[in-house]
Copies of this chain bind each other. A is one copy, B any other.
């Protein structure tokens, strides 16, 4: 019987524990969870604030009782404080504050990531009670919820315009707050090309969100007028005041435990693991947002995503029991819904492809989600990136209305990237068609044909 300990109650740790129990129900599995909310869907928190998800308990993928029924011993409110690698013992701080050593045969570390502060002063002293929030855990959620209830803020500044920032802009707007969203770069949702980010920008503006781009926030002060954020906007000083400030400027890997045990740090400051999820420390495995991600097009990178954490956790759980499975790698597929718009990407953008040694071209296209004669047809905007030497598909970005099946259309490209298909091969795919839901050449193929046509024109010009 293997005694497996997983540290981390989020996607990676729980996936590892579930997989181990699935493959060998005799495995003794302990999951060490820093708070009392194991297996909560952090991605769902914005929908708790919109009011679409209630009560908060429903955000649990599985309840504690479900997890225990699946054979896990849960150690809640418990922190891993040190690993005795040679002795195979994990030191933990118990809820009572004492220290305890837990023996293990195999240890899976899924300590995840922590919210980045991006050097903003004031974040270290101002608290949720002051109206300054991050949103990365159920504890953060409750703190924000309390602040909204107790202080009834009228206005919010959101620093950051990535996935969570945009989802929270929607949530605050739905709750009646006036939202100012501040973005360092030239356009919101900087994981997409600005041409597509601009569509998301419009959707936010349409719903009353005030967007301020090219602005870097350096400090937050509490003043009589409210919370005052200050920084630089396009070279000039910037300040704005609101009742609430939410800082969502990304995450940094939470590597302390593995780092002090001798693990190596790599891309993005995350712990290096191989494709079997081995940390290099004997019997210690890593998974999730604290480790590097093997990317099928980029190699090792740092790309923390819930989908990846689930897959890595599953691999770690299998290999910890003696399995020999490699993580197949990410292609960076991501999707977000913002009001009634869906924005998705997979693979590389042009500058990322160039940096990775490809010779890319990126071509824009638009195509209706279904036959125009059938009611409700709406265009999807595409940007397709391919390698001009090999014709390989390198990436795809899509923005469409919510009804356009954009989220699952990006999966066609994600599958093609996994399989290493060329852009021509995407045009050859036998995709589904019925007039209310598609076209004889699917919109995804209209886009790849546009890429091919652009290369022909470009060749003809040479």
Binding site for B on A (CB under 8 A): 11, 22, 41, 43-44, 47, 52-53, 58-59, 163, 296, 306-311, 328-337, 342, 344, 346, 371-375, 405, 407-412, 414-419, 421, 425, 428-438, 440-442, 444, 453
Contact = CB atoms under 8 A, between A and B. Distances in A.
Q: How many copies does the complex hold?
A: 2
A270 B347 CA distance: 41
15 contacts: A11-B440, A41-B371, A43-B435, A52-B374, A328-B425, A333-B432, A335-B432, A335-B437, A337-B434, A346-B430, A346-B432, A408-B432, A415-B416, A415-B431, A417-B430
A308 to B, nearest CB: 7
B337 A307 contact: no
A440 to B, nearest CB: 4
A330 B53 contact: no
Contacts of A430: 296, 307-308, 311, 329-333, 346, 414, 417-418
A374 B337 CA distance: 12
Contacts of A416: 415, 419
Contact of A41 (B411, B435, B441): B435
A438 B346 contact: no
A429 B311 CA distance: 10
A342 B431 contact: no
Contacts of A308: 430
A371 B44 contact: yes
A4 to B, nearest CB: 19
Contacts of A344: 432
A308 B408 CA distance: 22
